[in-house]
Amino acid sequence: MDALIEARGLTKTYADRRAVEGLTFAVPRGAIYGILGPNGAGKSSTMRMIVGVIAQTSGEVLFDGAPLTRAAQRRIGFLPEERGLYRAMTPRAAIVYFARLKGMKAGAARRRAKALLAEHGLADRGHKRIRTLSKGLAQKVQLLASIAHEPDLMVLDEPFSGLDPVNQQSLEAMIRAHAAAGKTVVFSTHVMEHAERMCDRILLIAKGQMAFEGAVKDALAHAPRSAVIETENGFDLARALAPAGFGVAREIGQGAAARWRVDLSNGDDPKRLLAAAVQAGAPLTAFEPNRVSLHEAFVALVGAPASSLAGGGGDA
């Protein structure tokens, strides 16, 4: 793997509380990488360590194969979970300011700010005070400020929080465009659909420890699988499929029609289930394998309810 970021045994302790313990993972160059977990799992601490905002208690972070340096930090754009801009500044001035902090020349920073504001529908807001903008637009300006210097690595902590659906789509398009251009993106989110739809690889953490790291498709393989079958004529599907080893539960039955849920979590193939039902003479009116989700994989891997992902904030 050609990794841009590597974490080895990453640990962070605050006073007597350990927020992150022994995380080891690698973010491939050009990938979209998601860091997921319930509130308080240690996502924000992990992201702050990999960009050098806070120091790890132990372990190491490598950027492009070497320890993180000030020069390397200039190649990183970071959007923290805590939003904050100088409210008396204008969006154009804020973007220029952050670009200059990352080493851009004044003229280049001004041109970049103008181009970014135009590209993202904010050209007419460029000279207004940030305090006059909505929360979502102010967050969009802060995101643009974090990438104004065209970093090789974007690290975005809960970037979708507070954005309306249109701006969420715009952000997704921006992330994909950066990855397509060979840039690397790491983001955390409580909205599992974003990670499932966008990420090449994910890191699931719970209580500061790794629960899973790898490709999204491999995480989905941990989700329980099932299929729904509907029959008619009073057919007893549970009895018919018992010899084939399928676990069948009746969900709804009214008169001669019935709906059954068949457990496939032991690795059974839906095609084998359908063949077994047909061979047993089941009068089928519907057959639908369920679509597994990252929510279900999260529950299976972390052992926490998917509702613990709701909302934002509060993450160590």
Predicted pLDDT at 311: 43
**Model pTM?**
0.82
Mean pLDDT on 179-205: 90
pLDDT in tens, 251-279: 876 667 899 999 887 777 889 999 999 99
Of all residues in the chain, the percent with pLDDT exceeding 90 is 59
Domain with CATH 3.40.50.300 in the chain: 3-220
How many CB atoms are closer than 10 A to CB 70? 7
16-25, 71-80, 255-264: least confident range: 255-264
Q: How confident is the model at residue 93 (pLDDT cuts 50, 70, 90)?
A: very high
Mean pLDDT of the chain: 88
User: Which residues partner with 57 through β-bridges?
Assistant: none
Domain with CATH 3.30.70 in the chain: 226-289
259 CB contacts (<8 Å, ≥6 apart)? Answer: 228, 229, 230, 250, 251, 252, 253, 286
Predicted pLDDT at 256: 75
65-79, 92-106, 288-302: least confident range: 288-302
pLDDT: which is higher, 304 or 232: 232
Cβ proximity of 141 and 95 under 8 Å: yes
**Closest CA relative to residue 237, chosen from 252, 249, 254:** 249
Q: How far apart are the C-alpha atoms of 167 and 62, rounded to whole Å? A: 33
What class has domain 3-220?
Answer: alpha beta
Tell me, what DSSP letter sits at residue 18? E
Residue 305 has pLDDT above 80, yes or no: no
What class has domain 226-289?
Answer: alpha beta
Q: How confident is the model at residue 312 (pLDDT cuts 50, 70, 90)?
A: very low
Q: How confident is the model at residue 304 (pLDDT cuts 50, 70, 90)?
A: low
Q: Is the dihedral of CA 48, 54, 59, 64 positive or negative?
A: positive
